[in-house]
Chains A and B, each alone.
Chain A
């Protein structure tokens, strides 16, 4: 029979490789107590986890069983807070007379206690001498010491309060430990019956059998007066301790009227109707809303302020105004940057470029908003300006050096009113000017420029050239506008002339109807001339009828060299009119 070794041999397995995995041990779960064997067998192998609660009495822990039972016994006791020596019985742990045979381990721990108990043991026969646990809670409020007759007559006389009633009040305050609510509730002073000898109030009280009702405020006021006076007699105010003095002050300052008013208000507050309560709740809600709104407003404004506030640096920047100082600064910055191990300001390559090459880019990065005109080249060339720019980049706050106009022109410093975003060529702007709103106008402009032999694209669009070009275009535009106006006037004149001629024709039918075409053309010619000349010749207007077209053209040529363009413009005009 092929043994396992043969099979291994055939399959090229190492002889006696790993020992076979152990057969899975059948896990025999222990049957929990409280469940019968039959029932447990029914559960099968993989029983769901069942928590079996056994409501069994646990009893004492085992180690306790070794301790001796300490017996209790009914024992009599007296209460130190009582004056009559009433003996009551309660259960108490009995003190053993003999040392219990305790196990060794616990012997040491309990030894001391046992000894203490033994010490008590001697007293055990007379346990009544033990202090009762709860006797210490028998405390009394501090009340002023009682006054003597002499003290009363000298200090405490009062028309409203008799001596007897004051005594009664003082007894009551003592009895109820100054609980004023209860004192006022139980206050029931019966004035003395007038039959017995009376000192002052015999008859008056007999006549007024109605009970004299005292309010709590009256009682308090009287009590505080008496207590404060007694305190002052005992210790004059100059000798009082701080607490006593406070107390004295408080008692003297008690104002029964104010207290009464306060209670009236409290009663009003308590007896509000449901509507009033609702209204108050609504008002409170409103108030809450308002305050929360205000809070929001304040926090928002604070945020805004903190955003507006720019940290003002007051450092001196003069050392950075030379290139040497700048490079030094850069070095220190780089040092700090390296040590910080953050993203380097030098970029990923980390190479230190020349300070001159590095700084302007940074400057332009930062100061683009401020001086976009100073480009990199200018900054490079003009060391001072670059230094200023860099310095202003480094430390934002720096006094700006003002340049004279001569210097400005030298350095090419410009001031722009408004700078549009992005990069643009200066010539673009000039180019833009040649584009008028309407195509016709653009053509006219182009014509005018061509006549002046100025290329539409400027060859050398320097600042000044551009400026000049701008001015030129402006004046061309102006002239064109003037011509337009003149033409309009011309046409009006012509219409009027025509109507005048009509009228004359009516009056003098002999008048030659002539050739209106020629006439109009002539007029047109002069009109154009006038407008192009922009000299607003008075005669042009006065004698347009007589003026010859060619003559006028010649004149225009004489004056300016624009006749061609003007003519073309005029022809343009006429063609337009014809079209119309």
Chain B
């Protein structure tokens, strides 16, 4: 066949082999069948751990938010930089993500489920073999990873998939590439604004350019820390976030007044761990981000003057504020401050200082414009204009109001010559699950099935094959 002849339209196409796409992130883990348009299973990557009756018990999925069990502590198997740290727990969380909604719990051994209690001497021996059913025995698995995933982590991933889950075929794809596929591009500059990281991934012909991959920790959690810093310095009185589980009842109060609420108290031995409260506070903060926080749309930085000489801060101040009510009933109007909490993503100097925060003050090199500049500096000059014409924005934190406007303004100010085009899907699901959707497309393509690493190949070459095949 001649590669210069394009295939007929009917020749393109999907061929679904009931593959499972698993897209683990720092905040949530997405899983679903390839060929569908949204992941069926969306669970938090956090898990809970507590002691009951002297036994350590684990809580997965949305259940972690529900019950403040005594001593419940929240953990995340993935490190702040998006690389798995706790492999045992990561395996359990991921397994939960697809067994809970997709594959279903496999029937246990019929001899142990209590229905077939028969005397042990009559036990037929040949049935023993079937009892070792693995959760993914008949679904190929496509997993995603960040562009800076080290080789060790990749090998560990295929090991788990092959040996623990027994998948017949496996593939490990970069989430930047998949996000580009999700918006129909084989070459793109993918800007992923996640919970723990923001990353820039240049993609060329479906492969990442490793030297251009940049990431920095100014993600959604960093914005949360900025919001906390803002609350501490709030002018009438500092705002404390009390999560819903600590409120038993509340009454409405005027804006800026002391909250009138009855609080639940837990005795010290029954109280959950502080990490549980932090997790639930984070939920309130993400609500705050959705409702209030706004990115200064530009042009220029918030601290600079606008095109007509009026300082941008002034014009931001003149725009009407947005109210927000906290779980305890306290409510307040947020004016220009709602722009300040995210400004440091673009302008390191605008960060709200907070010595208690776990995030150090951002450096200029960590801001988005600098990351993009560094990323483009790492790729060949010939493809830079093309990448700038295909900027793909993905990740849930990019849904901040006004984010894409500001991003395109910054890019156009930085690169006035080439045409800059930012493509950000307006559909929130497509933005949040960009890399999962790309994986869903990829794993359901007929042409992709030659790329899987099969069990046989894995057995032959070992875990190192992932380096050779998933380039």
CB within 8 Å of B: which residues of A? 79, 81-82, 84-91, 132-139, 175-176, 179-182, 184-186, 216, 263, 266-267, 269-274, 276-278
Contact = CB atoms under 8 A, between A and B. Distances in A.
B380 A216 contact: yes
A446 to B, nearest CB: 87
Contacts of B471: 175-176, 186
Interface string B185-206: 0000000000000000000110
A135 B7 CA distance: 13
B449 A134 contact: yes
A385 to B, nearest CB: 78
Interface stretch (B46-54, B75-83, B395-403, B415-423): B415-423
B364 interface: no
A90 B16 contact: yes
Given A139-B3, A182-B207, A272-B416, A133 B381 contact: no
Most B CB within 10 A of own CB, among A90, A136, A139, A269: A90
B456 A86 contact: yes
B271 interface: no
Contacts of A277: 416-417
Given A86-B452, A186-B210, A181 B385 contact: no
Contacts of B418: 270
A189 B320 CA distance: 58
Contacts of B135: none
A272 B417 contact: yes
B140 interface: yes
Contacts of A81: 450
Contacts of A79: 449-450
Nearest to A263: B381
Contacts of B169: 86, 88
A186 B3 CA distance: 24
A169 to B, nearest CB: 16
B1 A86 contact: no
Contacts of A137: 1, 7, 447
B447 A89 contact: no
A270 B417 contact: yes
Contacts of B17: 88-90
B365 interface: no
A181 B1 contact: no
Contact of B449 (A85, A88, A263, A269): A88
B16 A185 contact: no
A180 B445 CA distance: 26
B446 A133 contact: yes
B134 interface: no
Contacts of B379: 181, 185
A179 B204 contact: yes
A474 B281 CA distance: 122
B383 interface: yes
A138 B3 CA distance: 10
B456 A181 contact: no
Contacts of B457: 84
State the 6 A-B residue pairs at the shortest beta-carbon distance, nearest first.
Answer: A134-B446, A81-B450, A86-B454, A274-B416, A277-B416, A88-B17
Given A82-B450, A134-B15, A269-B417, A181 B209 contact: yes
7 contacts: A89-B138, A185-B204, A185-B209, A185-B379, A186-B210, A263-B382, A270-B385
Interface of B: 1, 3, 7, 11, 15-18, 138, 140, 168-169, 204-205, 207, 209-212, 379-385, 413, 415-418, 445-447, 449-450, 452, 454-457, 460, 471
B149 to A, nearest CB: 15
B114 to A, nearest CB: 32
B168 A88 contact: yes
A273 B456 contact: no
Contact of A134 (B383, B447, B460): B447
A271 B168 CA distance: 49
Nearest to A76: B17
A185 B385 contact: no
B210 A185 contact: yes
Contact of B454 (A82, A136, A269): A82
Nearest to B388: A270
Contacts of B207: 176, 179, 182
Contacts of A82: 449-450, 452, 454
Given A181-B379, A184-B380, A266-B382, A88 B209 contact: no
Nearest to B449: A79
A184 B380 CA distance: 8
B380 to A, nearest CB: 5
Most A CB within 10 A of own CB, among B15, B445, B455, B456: B15
A227 to B, nearest CB: 18
A85 B456 contact: yes
A139 B15 CA distance: 19
A139 B1 CA distance: 8
A274 B410 CA distance: 12
A138 B450 CA distance: 8
Contacts of B452: 82, 86, 88
B137 to A, nearest CB: 12
Most B CB within 10 A of own CB, among A87, A134, A176: A134
Most A CB within 10 A of own CB, among B11, B16, B445, B446: B446
Contacts of A184: 380
A90 B205 contact: no
Contacts of A186: 210, 471
Given A270-B415, A277-B416, A181 B450 contact: no
B205 A179 contact: yes
Contacts of B447: 134, 137
B79 to A, nearest CB: 25
B380 A88 contact: no
A266 B204 contact: no
A181 B380 contact: yes
Contacts of A86: 168-169, 449, 452, 454-456
Given A86-B456, A182-B204, A184-B380, 8 more contacts: A85-B456, A88-B17, A88-B452, A133-B11, A134-B446, A185-B380, A263-B380, A269-B417
Contacts of A84: 454, 456-457, 460
A42 B384 CA distance: 68
Given A86-B168, A133-B15, A266-B381, A182 B450 contact: no
A258 to B, nearest CB: 14
Contacts of A87: 168
A182 B205 contact: yes
Given A86-B454, A179-B205, A185-B211, A91 B16 contact: yes
B454 to A, nearest CB: 4
A270 to B, nearest CB: 6
A89 B415 CA distance: 49
A186 B379 CA distance: 11
A276 B416 CA distance: 9
A175 B3 CA distance: 17
A404 B471 CA distance: 104
Contacts of B449: 79, 82, 86, 88, 132, 134
Contacts of B383: 181
Contacts of A273: 416
B446 A181 contact: no
A135 B447 CA distance: 7
Contacts of A176: 207, 471
A182 B417 contact: no
Most A CB within 10 A of own CB, among B138, B212, B382, B460: B382
Contacts of B212: 185
Nearest to B445: A134
Contacts of A278: 416
Contacts of A133: 11, 15, 446
A454 to B, nearest CB: 93
B364 to A, nearest CB: 18
Nearest to B1: A136
A499 B366 CA distance: 117
A176 B209 CA distance: 12
A263 B17 CA distance: 45
Given A181-B380, A186-B210, A272-B416, A90 B15 contact: yes
